[in-house]
Structure 1
Amino acid sequence: MNFDLSEEQRLLQESLRRLLADRYGFTQRNAAMAAPEGWSRKIWRSYAELGLLGLPFEEADGGFGGGPVEAMLVAEALGEALTLEPWFTTVVLGGGFLRHGASEAQRRALVPQIAAGEALVAFAQMETQSRYSLSDVATEARRDGDGWVLEGRKRVVLHGDTADWVVVTARTSGARSDRAGIGVFLVPASAPGLLRQGYATVDGQRAAEVTLSGVRVGPDSVLGDPAEGLPLVERVVDEAIAALAAEAVGCMSALHALTLEYLKTRHQFGRAIGQFQVLQHRASDMMVALEQARSMAMYATMMLDEPTPERRSAMSAVKVQIGRSAKLIGQHAVQMHGGIGIATEYAAGHYFKRLAAIDTLFGNVDHHLETLAAEVSAVA
């Protein structure tokens, strides 16, 4: 396996890091977080100009034909800068549903708008009772002539308060937890009966509670088979886990570097605290955990084209290691910084919060350990 980046990939990585270094410092991030939308439209336009928003889409649909490696590089750089913009929700989640489930007409209508920064997409899947189960869907979709009527409530819809389109999972038949009978619908956020209540999340991002009350959509709103949408959801979520793993590596790398700098500059007992052996050991443990996480992020990217069972197992393993590394690095960073490590005015605590939020998205360490254990028991 060749892990060297191509010239185009290196250029993408360097261009994005240069943009973020010049225009996305911690002060600028805090200003964007305090804005009404909770992120910067100006930076979003810069993402569009750089080609980040059309990156994974086929050129025939108005994109740039990038693949999993390019997505990994972008996610890692965005994690290093602790960005707030909805790249993950629009390009990875929303884009994944369009690439794998939309018709040619649907893609050609929406992809150019996404690539130009003119359309935002959110994924409404989680419900009060569902926790981490993708198949536990109580929201209903019933036939209404050629179209559908949606009824239900979705929780923690990331960037759902500013999205122009919402991808909604709804049950078209069967019992609440059946794998069959789940449809995926692309719903305009302006549809009558769709209500949103936005709020800030603990890591500085944005989310919304989305209520669907008699929301009517046409037959062209369905992505794929309305009775067999779960495999599509699983495919997109696996790609999302790979992107989150890369973003987490970016966060961990930046937090590790921030901690090393603090150890060199903070003095106690007449010398830099980085000279104390116990803290050197902790910094070394952080580096080991970071490299383990980096390896698993690469592994996640490599496994995205594998058959479904192998891919799903791989993503569970990735989530376990990423979560463990993030916890160790975050805790060590805060402990070695002391009180400033959790101060709002300092970046370390914000990285730790983002890493904690990433761990909970699409299943935490305990959930994926249970999943892997169940697979081993089934084979035995």
Structure 2
Amino acid sequence: MNFELSEDQASLLSGLDQLLASEAPPAPTEPVFSAYADQLDMALAGSGYLDIAREDGFGVLDAALIVERLARLPHTVEAAASAILAPRLGIEPGLRPISMISGQANRAGRYLDRASLVVIDRGEDALILPVKASDVELVETLFAYPYGRLTHIDPGCGRVFADVQLVRRLSRIALAAEAAGCMAAALALVVEHVTARQAFGRPLGAFQAIQHRLAMASETTESARWLALRAAWSDRDDDAAIAAGFVQMRIPQFTFDLHQFTGAMGLTLEFPLHLWTYRLRALVGELGGSSGQARAAAAAAWPEAA
């Protein structure tokens, strides 16, 4: 089943595409593990796209559409927390980038190296804490996100948000939307590669074995997108957990296949595939992983049994 965007949503994404055409940097030409789009970040902050869920007539679904589209870029930019979580958590516009941490507060967090705020899931509640550069150390990883770790935490400087279930639901929607965008971009790159690359006088994509697995990758990508959008539309705990759990369950096979289709080239930093697949590998373990989402979905569906 497919769905059509509303006129407002189509106009929203068209405007975003125009912004990206002028502000998004080209794919890195030098081998890098990650690349942050600083200029685009500033343009997004001033354009209002990351605040769309605050506008009358718009909501989490529209924010998820933007997050999914931005995740297709080879460069990273913090959008998911700003667009999906911040409006519902009472975070003022402009207070970003935002990092999210689940579990121990001193674990490494995406975008924490440049964050203005961090949202920490402490189990019983969430802590929304301002971040100072002096309290963060950079963390080098193979994942295609910038990472940092808090070296000093003063809970007294933060604000406690009691509805931790809302934080988790929105975090799962954000993860699912971001993963769906990464999958779409990675798949498009590989389809282009197997169409142009030849073996035994034929394009790689002409071989049936590759076609079958590409079809499976395409099914995963489409399913991930529509599950993420459904969760954003329904704003339900079970839909959010299912959407996040689905992508996390599928990421290992999805990334394995795409790298195998590109051969040795797909394992080099010169080829941009890792800019999306390494991000996906980072997302696969967040928020408790697929098993954690399965438990959350079961608890939402059968609260009495849980």
Scaled to the shorter chain, the TM-score interval is 0.7 to 0.9
Within 5 A, what are the aligned runs for 1:49-88? 49-58=46-55, 66-88=58-80
Equivalent position SS for 1:326: helix
* In the alignment, structure 1 residue 286 sits paired with structure 2 residue 217: yes
Using the TM superposition, give the Cα deviation of residue 349 of structure 1 relative to its aligned residue in structure 2, in angstroms. 2.3
For 2:289 and 2:80, locate their aligned partners in 1 and report how far apart those are by CA, in whole Å.
18
SS in 2 for 1:81: coil
Q: Distance in 2 between matches of 1:32 and 1:41?
A: 16
- Alignment of 1:195 with 2:135, yes or no, is yes
Aligned counterparts of 2:294 and 2:153: Cα–Cα separation in 1: 37
1:104 alignment partner in structure 2? none
- Is the 1:29–1:84 contact (alpha carbons within 8 Å) kept by the matching residues of 2? no
Structure 1 counterpart SS, 2:178: helix
Amino acid in structure 2 at the alignment position of 1:17: D
Percent of matched pairs sharing the same residue: 24
The reply to whether residue 47 of structure 1 matches residue 44 of structure 2 is: yes
Distance 1:234 1:29 in 2: 42
TM-score by length of 2: 0.84
Shift of 1:251: 1.5
Q: Do the aligned residues in 2 keep the contact of 1:89 with 1:158 (CA within 8 Å)?
A: no
Q: Provide the rounded CA distance (Å) in 2 between the counterparts of 1:187 and 1:70.
A: 26
Helix, strand or coil at the partner of 1:187:
strand
Partner residue in 2 for 1:122: 99
Partner of 2:230: 299
Task: Find the aligned partners of 2:164 and 2:74 in 1 and give their Cα distance.
Answer: 27
Superposition deviation, residue 204 in structure 1: 2.1
Q: Secondary structure at the match of 2:8?
A: helix
1:248-263 to 2 correspondences below 5 Å = 248-263=179-194
Alignment of 1:153-232 (within 5 A): 153-168=105-120, 179=124, 182=125, 184-190=126-132, 195-212=135-152, 216-217=156-157, 221-224=158-161, 229=162, 232=163
Larger strand proportion of the pair: 1
SS in 1 for 2:135: strand
| 2:127/2:159 contact within 8 Å kept | yes
Deviation, 1:222, is 3.0
Q: Deviation at 1:74?
A: 0.6
Checking the alignment, whether the CA contact within 8 Å between 1:293 and 1:325 is kept in structure 2 is no
SS of the aligned residue for 2:69 comes to: helix
* 1: CA distance, partners of 2:234 / 2:15: 27
Whether 2:89 is the aligned partner of 1:97: answer yes
CA RMSD of aligned residues (A): 3.2
Structure 2 residue 241 is the aligned partner of structure 1 residue 316: yes
Runs of 5+ consecutive residues of structure 1 not aligned to the other structure: 60-64, 99-106, 128-152, 171-176, 305-310
- 1:77 is displaced (CA, Å) by 0.7
Assess, with a 3 A threshold, how the Cα gap between structure 1 residues 186 and 283 changes in structure 2: closer, same or farther. closer
SS of 1:26 mapped into structure 2: coil
SS in 1 for 2:106: strand
Equivalenced residue count is: 304
After superposition, the Cα gap between the structure-2 partners of 1:189 and 1:373, relative to the gap in structure 1 and judged at 3 Å, is closer
TM-score by length of 1: 0.70
For 2:37, give the aligned amino acid.
S
Aligned to 2:283: 358
